[in-house]
Structure 1
């Protein structure tokens, strides 16, 4: 497991503003990053609003937003280039002409180590030469224009998302969702992204088995318990104890026990064990890994004792649980 000392610094994600850009995808991305950071219990990603100048920018919807930094002074790791409203090839041509200075700034290296673009934002990215020699996708009704205008790009319009050497492109006005979720998923665990997607896309996060309701993150009655749950998930099962968690929280084991039992309605030790068993249940339903491998990944020292504990809590063997709740099929 990664300790706090060895955790990487938060990646800086620049959200690029320019006159006439569509802000919905940028705002949704900022919300998504915030949710990922909270769910992960650490700063995975830091959002920075960028502009060609520091002046306020009027977007497509009339919403005025102010950049925090200019492209020239940006020290971002990634720059996200949003789309703009366009219905014809002529609209695309006009916007490229209007944004000549922005395109030049992008070409000069204001995007950091990587660039992400979606919908019509792909045209701006291509115009800056950032897709030259790379594979990329784009929205289907721009296909003829993009192919003729940017011949050095290896277009793959049949794919909704293409990643090639730091350049990630997505098709469609809602392409930001697929693009950003796919990229953030490389920085956090599958469990974190799954919870975030459930929270942002569904009215209520589903629970695979009622036994795990006491350790559903979003169902925790206090912010303190949410943070405690996230921390417990990061500790190997063999090392998870009231004492180690209490030390992390800078309280006595007695105090921590009282707080957990008051909020969770369960004995503190049982609640902590349930946190790890829920992680086992998630791995069973989202992968085909054997229980032995799952147990080793989560820090269990003995497969047979894990098998017994899981059945005691759920009333089902791990095999039957996977058959009942699993959503991964062989051969995928």
Structure 2
């Protein structure tokens, strides 16, 4: 294996073009932020020539095929239009072999479907694009799909909802390999505004619920009451629906249960407080509605891949 860490980016037909450009931007920024933190990026494709997704499809020929995954310390599967179909021949075997070798295996957005189809996510937690969360759960019931997670880490697997071409996933790799300070410096080098992906996703969910007919008052009440110890029965009583009907309508329009939506509200507020408030972790946990600081820490780490303390430290460094 090369002395330089190798990342193999596996792209399939219909890959979004920005998922091809994001890695180059990030790894170039890494090299400028920390000259000793270089990577070798292998772009691998099956077939070797693929067409990017609409609205402006481009034809791209990769330098490597599946052989490019050999020796890679990390294998990242990009999203693609054909995620509902079986992976091309050889892809599932190559991904299973990467897992067996001890590689980290990652997926951006709908790339999680490819990992699930290969069977490597069975019994694991994972996420995907918000709009495809219910479908991933239905197609692959052995995968514990987390609709509230924007980036989910479980063992060697890292899956991302895919905001900004998987930027969060690439920065996670950098942080794991070179530390939070290099990752924060890399983010600054990208000259990108801070993108509150979780907040944006939650706003999208709220709009969908408002359009579902009759749930908007309950959504507003739930958000205003998030610091209280709410149960599903409490939320259903406010909506004047049975718990089963409420749960079904929430899931139909968002892919989230009411309690998962409530969890997302609480985590969004906790992120904001960690970034802008000097309250202790225990105080923040209580202010956003968690019954215990231990539960807060567990949910926060599950959703972000970091402890609240580490998240706060990285956010403060990034703002300096």
TM bucket (normalised to shorter chain) is 0.5 to 0.7
Structure number with bigger Rg: 1
Residue 75 (structure 1) aligns with: 71
RMSD: 3.1
* TM-score (normalizing by structure 2): 0.53
The secondary structure found in structure 2 opposite 1:131 is coil
The secondary structure found in structure 2 opposite 1:147 is helix
Question: Is contact 2:172-2:183 (8 Å) kept?
Answer: no
The secondary structure found in structure 1 opposite 2:123 is coil
Q: Which has the higher contact order (CA 8 A, sep 6+)?
A: 2
Mapped to 1, the partners of 2:315 and 2:133 lie a distance apart of 35
1:48 pairs with 2:42: yes
1:11 pairs with 2:5: yes
Mapped to 2, the partners of 1:162 and 1:57 lie a distance apart of 28
The secondary structure found in structure 2 opposite 1:126 is helix
* TM-score (normalizing by structure 1): 0.52
Tell me, which stretches of 5 or more residues in structure 2 are unaligned?
194-274, 279-313
1:33 pairs with 2:23: no
Question: Is contact 1:107-1:129 (8 Å) kept?
Answer: no
Residue 118 (structure 2) aligns with: 128
> CA 1:327–1:104 in structure 2 vs 1: closer, same or farther (change >3 Å)?
closer
C-alpha displacement at 1:175, in angstroms? 5.5
> CA 1:134–1:71 in structure 2 vs 1: closer, same or farther (change >3 Å)?
same
C-alpha displacement at 1:110, in angstroms? 5.0
The secondary structure found in structure 2 opposite 1:72 is helix
Mapped to 1, the partners of 2:316 and 2:190 lie a distance apart of 22
C-alpha displacement at 1:57, in angstroms? 2.2
Q: How many equivalent pairs are there?
A: 194
> CA 1:187–1:44 in structure 2 vs 1: closer, same or farther (change >3 Å)?
farther
Mapped to 1, the partners of 2:315 and 2:24 lie a distance apart of 29
Tell me, which stretches of 5 or more residues in structure 1 are unaligned?
1-7, 86-90, 204-284, 289-325
> CA 1:182–1:109 in structure 2 vs 1: closer, same or farther (change >3 Å)?
same
